Structure 1
Amino acid sequence: MTRRTVFWCFFVLTALAFIFPAQGATPKQGGVLIIGRGGDSVGLDPALEDDGESFKVADNLFDTLVDYADEDTSLRPELAESWSISADGLRYTFTLREGVVFHDGTPLDADAVVFSFARQAPIKYKYFGKGFPLPKEQGPYKYWGYMSMSDIVASVEARDARTVVFTLKRPEAPFLSNLGMNFSSIVSPTAVLKLGADFRRKPVGSGPFKFVQWIKDDRIILEANERYWDGRPYLDRVIFRSIPDNSTRLLELLSGAIDVMHFPNPSDIPLIEKEKNLKVLRQPGMNIGYLAMNMDKKPFDNRKVRLAINHAINKQAIIDTIYEGLGTVAKNPIPPMMWGYNDEVEDYRYDPALARKLLTEAGYPNGFQTTLWAMPVPRPYNPNGRKVAEAIQADLRKIGIEARIVSYEWGTYLDKTERGEHDMALLGWTGDNGDPDNFFYILLDKESARIPAGNIAFYRSDELHEILVKAKTSTDQAERERLYKQACVIVHRDAPWVPLAHSIQVVPMKKGVQNYKLHPTTKHRLGKVWKE
């Protein structure tokens, strides 16, 4: 066959593909999508929550001023159709889309934006119209605190119905990206004031789906928002089912009772891939799973004890036997895919003999007794908290540390670790916005060690804080990258954690589920998903 013949065959086939699209290529209206997940949401007020199970529902109920692209963290307009930034980096002016309404029919205007931020902290604010009183008793607004937003935002003002201006106290490199995070969601002021504390269970936003019902520890039901500014969703309803056991969740997928399965057992992936009616989506995770040692409690205030624990844990064995090919060993607080990652950091090797020596030098030649808290639900960064805890428990026993495993219901687990009740605790993080600040500042800065703490190691380093503030306020990308690489070195030296793993996102589903996209931040946006 000549090159010319090959070319014309290719041309004809390509043309036919456009004229006669593949079956199912055209989105279909209607249907119910049922998602099986490992645990229930804690709450559905996006300013109050800090867990992924809450956010994956809130992603579909609320909008933010800016949003991230479908499969990366580059920014695009959402409620704000445009924005400008002053030359000194201290003033951000947003122009809102016209005609957007909340699910309760009230207008989403500049006053609603001001309310959504001003309710979270005592910052200066100004409405253009009558405005709304701020709630007297709500909170704590965890993310606002984790992000130190009160140190960043001086004021928020509605200039007119469609113009909002944020004035900052200092330049903040990731500020615009922060406005795409869940805590920056715009809520209905009318609903917040009417419902009070119940807003957390009966949320009202402007997103592609509206809240219908929540049966605790069973299911959350959403329905299509017919008036959504970006077009009605293809699906009529979305149901998030809570099915804690991984194997039971798999059986529900195999039987057809659910359409999408979150957090499968890694060992089940080959079986799922053999099923002709199922498919598996994969994406590298922008995450970190770690063991935090509470430095407010003895003996974890002793660096040699923390180093001993780092050397005692066989991380590669955990990756091989529990993650089963869906994870890599971690050595830094940020994933390798993120700029600022320092590959020159040398991980603490698995060395039980050295670990015992360090314990002896620390004054614990016979080891000690402690508790090891294990997550009750699978997470993007840890497929099985109990099994990981058991592996760590066995490793620590070899050097004389007896660790009793403790666990609680997911919401209680988060609340207790944020209050520092644990000795050692398994937890993790998935990046919200693609910036290293979102890992370092929330999880390891001294400001985040204030209760309710994002920094559950209660690690307080003035040296690290100074570097992180410089990195946040710099507009020089090369300087920021250098500073975060330096931050990796400091955290590694001080060892408040045992960084365990970076995992791969894996989501099995029916082949008939179309346009379901995985996002590095694990956002679950379902407005453009449809079923064949």
Structure 2
Amino acid sequence: MDDIIKDVVKIDDYKVKIVLKKKEAPFLANLAMQFAGIVSPAAVEKFKENFSSNPVGTGPFKFVQWIKDDSIILERNDNYWREKAYLDRLILKVIPEPTARYLALKKGEVDIIDFPSPEDIENIKADKNLKVVEQPGLNVGYLAMNQSKKPFDNKLVRQAISHAINKADIIKAVYGNLGTPAKNPIPPTMWSYNDSIKDYEYNPKLAKELLKKAGYENGFKTTLWAMPVSRPYNPNAKKVAEIMQAQLKEVGITADIVSYEWGTYLDKLDNLQHDMCLIGWTGDNGDPDNFLYVLLSIQSTNKPAQNYAFWKNEKFDSLIRQAKETFDRNKRTELYKEAQVIFHEEAPWVPIAHSIVVEPMKKNVMDFKLSPLGKREFRQVWIQK
């Protein structure tokens, strides 16, 4: 935002004017994101760099306590400016394993759980004391190939890997009925999605031919990094990695699976230490810029990087920059569709899947609604006695 905002001018007690340094079509969408939330200046001054551990905002709940790797406790904010929350208290509990979360729900130890294992969904739906809220997620899970390392700087190698991966097998084994194959870097529910693009077919023979053409007839050795946690876009990265490892082996690529604690994993990805990595994204604001620019622009290769493929394509970058400065949605749509064609040809990722997001809960939890942006909102939630 420092590169975008020139000045913020107070007009009156309830209105400000934001002056930008340049045209920025996604600005209003970005301004609606959580990082732009209104916070207490007094609390910021009091806690300084520790403010994130002692947040004071304007939401329906107030922060009470955070016990690292255990829980966050919130209580209702009776001074909330809108209709007050029904719940007196919220406890956000850390339970790392998906099956352990399910068992805690089944035993009545918790009311709602995030990121269940797809293998548990049918049992949850069959339990008369539980229910499931679900909807298509605004997300994509993908394999990024780091072009700062050989041989991933070779487009033929990236295309070969795209043909070597059998997405149908991965989705069947890991996502079950909760995933659909991905072919673009944005989800099909997002405006400007280019459905005319034909996905790379699973074709090990063609993959071998492309590797031979690239100078790797006998394959090569590399590492495949897998997340240690369940995420909406990838419920079991280790299992995905194991399936990919076997598929790559068929075309002569030997991939050793690597994993780290989640924080360490992200830090190492930010510093582009990986060869290939499994990762993904859930949209923050419903604008394609939040995927295409954030994850694939040249600027996003700067460390800490978010462009984990270290992909620098000038034509793609020019298109998404033009889209940033264009306020006509139809024109932005055409620019983004053209950018997706370049992405497909250059293959910096293997897009794997878009998931259906599911939230299991007790039957007596009422009015919980999923946000497509991955947020969990409890202001209107109540417990039926």
User: What band does the TM-score fall into relative to the shorter chain?
Assistant: over 0.9
- Give yes or no for the alignment of 1:394 onto 2:223: no
Rounded Cα–Cα distance in structure 2 between residues aligned with 1:409 and 1:232: 38
1:302-381 aligned at under 5 Å gives the runs 302-381=154-233
- Give yes or no for the alignment of 1:281 onto 2:149: no
What's the secondary structure of 2:79's corresponding residue? coil
- Give yes or no for the alignment of 1:192 onto 2:54: no
Decide which of 14, 18, 26 is 1:166's aligned counterpart: 18
- Give yes or no for the alignment of 1:214 onto 2:63: no
- Give yes or no for the alignment of 1:501 onto 2:369: no
What's the secondary structure of 1:440's corresponding residue? helix
- Give yes or no for the alignment of 1:528 onto 2:380: yes
Instruction: State the aligned residue count.
Output: 384
Q: Deviations over 1:208-235 (max 9, x none)?
A: 1111111211111111112111133111
Q: Deviations over 1:81-107 (max 9, x none)?
A: xxxxxxxxxxxxxxxxxxxxxxxxxxx
1:508-519 aligned at under 5 Å gives the runs 508-519=360-371
Unaligned runs of 5+ in 2: none
Rounded Cα–Cα distance in structure 1 between residues aligned with 2:16 and 2:275: 45
Q: Deviations over 1:422-455 (max 9, x none)?
A: 1111111111111111110001111111111121
- How far residue 381 of structure 1 moved from its aligned partner, in angstroms, is 0.7
What's the secondary structure of 1:262's corresponding residue? coil
Rounded Cα–Cα distance in structure 2 between residues aligned with 1:190 and 1:369: 55
1:437-448 aligned at under 5 Å gives the runs 437-448=289-300
What's the secondary structure of 1:509's corresponding residue? strand
- Give yes or no for the alignment of 1:244 onto 2:101: no
Rounded Cα–Cα distance in structure 2 between residues aligned with 1:318 and 1:434: 27
Amino acid at match of 1:425: C
What's the secondary structure of 2:177's corresponding residue? coil
- How far residue 152 of structure 1 moved from its aligned partner, in angstroms, is 2.7
What's the secondary structure of 1:525's corresponding residue? coil
Amino acid at match of 2:104: E
Amino acid at match of 2:207: A
1:29-68 aligned at under 5 Å gives the runs none
Tell me which residue corresponds to 1:180: 32
Rounded Cα–Cα distance in structure 1 between residues aligned with 2:277 and 2:43: 37
Tell me which residue corresponds to 1:28: none
Tell me which residue corresponds to 1:457: 309
What's the secondary structure of 1:484's corresponding residue? helix
Q: Deviations over 1:109-162 (max 9, x none)?
A: xxxxxxxxxxxxxxxxxxxxxxxxxxxxxxxxxxxxxxxx34432222223433
Rounded Cα–Cα distance in structure 2 between residues aligned with 1:404 and 1:219: 34
Find runs of 4+ consecutive structure 1 residues off by over 6 angstroms.
none
- Give yes or no for the alignment of 1:385 onto 2:237: yes
Rounded Cα–Cα distance in structure 2 between residues aligned with 1:199 and 1:419: 26
Rounded Cα–Cα distance in structure 1 between residues aligned with 2:6 and 2:305: 23
- Give yes or no for the alignment of 1:264 onto 2:116: yes
TM-score by length of 1: 0.71
Tell me which residue corresponds to 1:485: 337
- How far residue 172 of structure 1 moved from its aligned partner, in angstroms, is 2.0
What's the secondary structure of 1:207's corresponding residue? coil
Decide which of 281, 288, 292 is 1:436's aligned counterpart: 288
Unaligned runs of 5+ in 1: 1-148
% identity of equivalent residues: 57
Rounded Cα–Cα distance in structure 1 between residues aligned with 2:6 and 2:315: 26
Judge which range, 319-328 or 183-192, deviates more: 183-192
Amino acid at match of 1:530: W
Tell me which residue corresponds to 1:15: none
TM-score by length of 2: 0.97
- How far residue 526 of structure 1 moved from its aligned partner, in angstroms, is 0.9
